[in-house]
A and B are shown apart, each in its own frame.
Chain A
Amino acid sequence: MSGMVDFKINGRDIQAQRGETILQAARREGIYIPTMCYISKTTPCASCRMCVVEVKGVDGFVLSCNTPAANGIEVSTDSHDLHVERTNIMRLYDVNHPLECGVCDKSGECDLQNKTLEFNVGTQDFSARDERRTIEHWGLINYDPALCILCEKCTHVCNEVIGDDAITIQFGGYSSKVIPKNSDTLDCTFCGECIAVCPVGALVSSDFQYKSNAWELNKIPATCAHCSAGCPLEYEVKHTSIDLADDTIYRVTNNFEFTSLCGAGRFGFDFDIKAEKDISAFSKATEALKNASAIRFTSMITNEEAWLLNRLKDKLGIKLFNEDARLFAEFMSAYSSVSGKKHYSADLSQLKRADGIIMIGSMIASDNPGVRYAMTTAAKHNGAKIIYAHPVEDALMQNVVTQFLKYEVATEEGVIVLLAKYILSRCEVDSKTNEYLENLDVGYLSAESNIGEDELELMMKSLSRTRNNILVVGIDVISHKRATNIAKLVALIEKYSNFSVLIVPKDVNTLGVSLICDLDKDKAVKNTVGYNADGDFIISSLPGHDLTIPALNQQEGTFTSIDKRVLATNPALSFGGYELNDIASVFGLGYRHTIDITKELPLDCGFKRVEFDELNNFLSELGEDVRGYKLTEIEINNPSDLQEIDDLPEFNGTIVYHVNPVLQFNSYTNLTKLLEKDTSLRGSAQFAIAARIKDGDNIEITLPNQVVLMRKFKEDASLKGMIALNPIFDMGHEIIKYRFQKSQIKRVNNE
Chain B
Amino acid sequence: MSKVYFSTWNGEFINNINKRQEEWEESAYDLPVMYDSYRESKAFIGWDGVAIFNEDVDVIRLATEYAAQYQVYSEACGRCAPGRWGGRILYDMLDKIARGEGELSDIEHLKEVSKTMQTTSKCEIGKTVPTPILDIITHFEDDFMRCIHEKQPSKHYDADIDYIAKITAPCTDACPAHVDIPGYIEGVRDLRLDDSLIATRQTMPLAHTCGRVCPHPCEDACRRTNLDEPISIMELKRLGADYETDHGFGFFHPAEKKPKINKKVVVVGAGPAGLTTAYYLALEGIDVDVYEELPVLGGEVAVGVPQYRMPIEKYNKDIECVKDLGVNFITDTRVNADMMREFENDYDAVMIATGTRISKKVRCNNEREEIKGYWGAIDFLDKINLFEKYGYTISKEEQERYMLPASHIDLTGKTVVCVGGGFTSMDVVRCSIRANAKKVYMIYRRDEKTIIRNTTYEEYHEAVEEGVEFLFHSAVNTIITDEDDKITSLLIDKFELVPDPNGGRAQLVKIEGESYNIEADYLVPAVSQSANLDLLPSEWELKMTSWATIKTNGKDYMTSRKGIFASGDCEYGPMTIVNAVGQAKRASSVIARYVQTGEISLSDDEIMEDHLRKMRVYDKNEKVTGWLPGLAREVSIKLDAHNRKYNNKEVNLGFTQDEAMNEADRCMRCYYIAMTAV
Contact = CB atoms under 8 A, between A and B. Distances in A.
Interface of A: 19, 36, 43, 46-50, 52, 55, 58-62, 66-68, 70, 73, 85, 88-89, 92-93, 95, 125-129, 149-150, 152, 156, 159-160, 168-176, 355, 380-385, 398-404, 462, 465
Contacts of A66: 189, 665
Interface in B624-655: 625-631, 653
B657 interface: yes
Given A58-B629, A62-B627, A92 B191 contact: no
A57 to B, nearest CB: 9
Contacts of B665: 66-68
B4 to A, nearest CB: 30
A19 B625 CA distance: 21
A171 B81 contact: no
Given A43-B191, A159-B191, 10 more contacts: A47-B80, A47-B81, A49-B120, A55-B628, A62-B626, A88-B82, A92-B81, A129-B92, A171-B74, A173-B83
Interface centre among B116, B122, B189, B629 (most CB of A within 10 A): B116
The B interface, classified by DSSP as helix, strand, loop or mixed, is helix
Contact of B89 (A62, A85, A92, A385): A92
Contact of B85 (A52, A95, A381, A401): A95
A59 B625 contact: yes
B657 A381 contact: yes
A171 B85 contact: no
B470 to A, nearest CB: 31
B568 to A, nearest CB: 34
Contacts of A73: 628
3 A-B pairs closest in CB distance = A383-B657, A176-B78, A60-B626
A385 B625 CA distance: 38
Interface string B569-604: 000000000000000000000000000000000000
B563 interface: no
A176 B92 contact: no
A160 B191 contact: yes
B78 A169 contact: yes
A493 to B, nearest CB: 23
B247 A85 contact: no
Given A93-B81, A95-B89, A173 B122 contact: no
12 contacts: A59-B626, A62-B627, A89-B82, A93-B81, A150-B79, A159-B190, A170-B74, A171-B77, A173-B74, A173-B83, A176-B79, A401-B247
B478 to A, nearest CB: 48
Given A19-B662, A128-B92, A156-B190, A59 B623 contact: yes
Contact of B71 (A19, A59, A126, A173): A173
B78 A61 contact: no
A114 to B, nearest CB: 16
B84 interface: yes
B38 interface: no
A149 B79 CA distance: 10
Given A92-B89, A171-B78, A60 B660 contact: no
Interface residues of B, number: 53
Contacts of B79: 47, 150, 152, 169, 171, 176
A174 B81 contact: no
B324 interface: no
A172 B78 contact: yes
B78 A149 contact: no
A526 to B, nearest CB: 54
A36 B85 CA distance: 15
B92 A173 contact: no
A684 B656 CA distance: 37
The A interface, classified by DSSP as helix, strand, loop or mixed, is loop
Contact of A85 (B116, B189, B658): B116
A404 B78 CA distance: 38
Given A49-B80, A127-B92, A382-B657, A70 B630 contact: yes
B661 interface: yes
A175 B88 CA distance: 10
B406 interface: no
A695 to B, nearest CB: 24
B89 A128 contact: yes
Interface string B238-260: 00000000111100000000000
B108 to A, nearest CB: 10
B269 interface: no
A380 B109 contact: no
Interface centre among B113, B630, B657 (most CB of A within 10 A): B657
B98 to A, nearest CB: 14
A152 B189 CA distance: 13
A126 B81 CA distance: 14
Contacts of A126: 85, 89, 109, 113
A151 B77 CA distance: 13
A173 B119 contact: no
A49 B71 CA distance: 19
Nearest to A45: B190
B81 A149 contact: yes
B216 to A, nearest CB: 22
B628 A49 contact: no
A126 B89 CA distance: 7
Nearest to A385: B246
A60 to B, nearest CB: 3
A171 B92 CA distance: 19
Interface centre among B113, B120, B623 (most CB of A within 10 A): B120
A464 B658 CA distance: 16
B358 to A, nearest CB: 38
Interface centre among A55, A95, A398 (most CB of B within 10 A): A95
Contacts of B73: 173
Given A159-B192, A173-B87, A174-B71, A89 B247 contact: no
Contacts of B337: none
Contacts of B84: 92, 150, 173-174, 176
A68 B249 contact: no
A92 B89 CA distance: 9
B214 to A, nearest CB: 22
Nearest to B629: A58
A192 B223 CA distance: 41
A89 B86 CA distance: 9
Nearest to A177: B78
Contacts of A93: 81, 85
A125 B109 CA distance: 8
Given A49-B80, A58-B628, A95-B89, A43 B190 contact: yes
A726 to B, nearest CB: 27
A70 B660 contact: no
A92 B623 CA distance: 28
B196 interface: no
Contact of B88 (A47, A169, A174): A174
Nearest to B95: A129
A354 B81 CA distance: 35
B70 interface: yes
Contact of A43 (B83, B189, B628): B189
B75 interface: yes
Contact of A465 (B74, B80, B83, B656): B656
B81 A89 contact: yes
A89 B190 CA distance: 22
B249 A128 contact: no
B40 interface: no
Contacts of B81: 36, 47-50, 89, 92-93, 149-150
A370 to B, nearest CB: 20
Nearest to A43: B191
Interface string B473-509: 0000000000000000000000000000000000000
Contacts of A403: 246
B72 interface: yes
Interface string B425-469: 000000000000000000000000000000000000000000000
B109 A150 contact: no
B121 interface: yes
A70 to B, nearest CB: 6
